[in-house]
Amino acid sequence: MLFLQLPLFLVFLPGGDNEDAKDYSISFKLIAISLFYNHSCTQNLGSSWLGEFQMQVWDSRFGTFVYLWPLSKGNFSNEELMELQKLFHLYFIRLAHVFHNHVIQWKLKYPFEIQEAGGCGLHHGEVRVAYRGSELLSFQNNSWLPSPKVTLEIIHRTLSDTCPCFLLGLLDAGKADLQRQGHSVGWIFLAVIVSLVLLTGLAFWHRKCWWVLCVHLSCFFPHSPLVCPSFFFFFLS
């Protein structure tokens, strides 16, 4: 995965409180791949991003997040983080049940993979699920089609409440780290330059985050039928 230097986090921190941050287009995203080897074996791989900055990776062996930075936990308590992990673990389980139960109806053949992208801004979020680059499910406004009803409450709670709060926590945690390091003129200049580059290349980076995940998954699973079409990337409002 791509590891980025912490000082570049200045790009996303306007220097004021969270009210100032609301004027910026900031989002928290999760990119994942679910590998369905057969009717009883499924593996989930993924990572989360604050813009261009990778925050966590998902360890499917234990159903837990691996936090890459001290600020990756935001300002959530350990209990809240454990609850969030349980929600994601349950989401992956329920999603697997949906696809296992619709293999014949949706004409899927083992082994196959499902691509997932989800996230939120400061006020709302969405989840999209695709097969071979074609969107199958899109969760918005507390519903999706086809509708696996058992997951609606979990997804709605995560996107509407938990995700925006976690995003604000990441901003608070990152701002504190940078303040301890000091705001030198050099870093301010770097932040301005990188901000301009990020704003003009935002669509490209969304595509690159997806390809970074695909390339590394291909290294770990060289014989698995991973599909990383160039047209599969998501823009989350």
Residue 163 phi, psi dihedral angles, 5° rounding = -65, -50
The confidence score (pLDDT) of residue 125 equals 74
**Which residue would you say has higher pLDDT here, 208 or 135?**
135
Parallel/antiparallel/unpaired status of strands 64-67 and 112-120: unpaired
CB neighbours of 68 closer than 8 A, spacing ≥ 6? Answer: 3, 54, 55, 56, 57
What fold is seen in the domain 26-220? 3.30.500
Q: What is the mean pLDDT of the chain?
A: 67
Mean pLDDT of 210-236: 44
Whether residue 83 has pLDDT greater than 80: yes
pLDDT value at residue 111: 94
Between 115 and 182, the more confident residue is 115
Q: pLDDT tens digits, residue range 102-160?
A: 888 888 899 999 999 888 887 667 778 888 777 767 665 555 444 444 445 555 556 66
Q: What is the mean pLDDT of residues 12-33?
A: 59
Mean pLDDT, rounded, for 68-87: 90
Between these two residues, 136 and 19, which has the higher pLDDT value? 136
**22-48 mean pLDDT:** 85
The pLDDT of 53-61, averaged and rounded, is: 92
Domain boundaries, the chain: 26-220
**What's the rounded mean pLDDT across residues 40-69?**
92
188 compared with 103, residue with greater pLDDT: 103
pLDDT: is 55 or 200 the higher one? 55
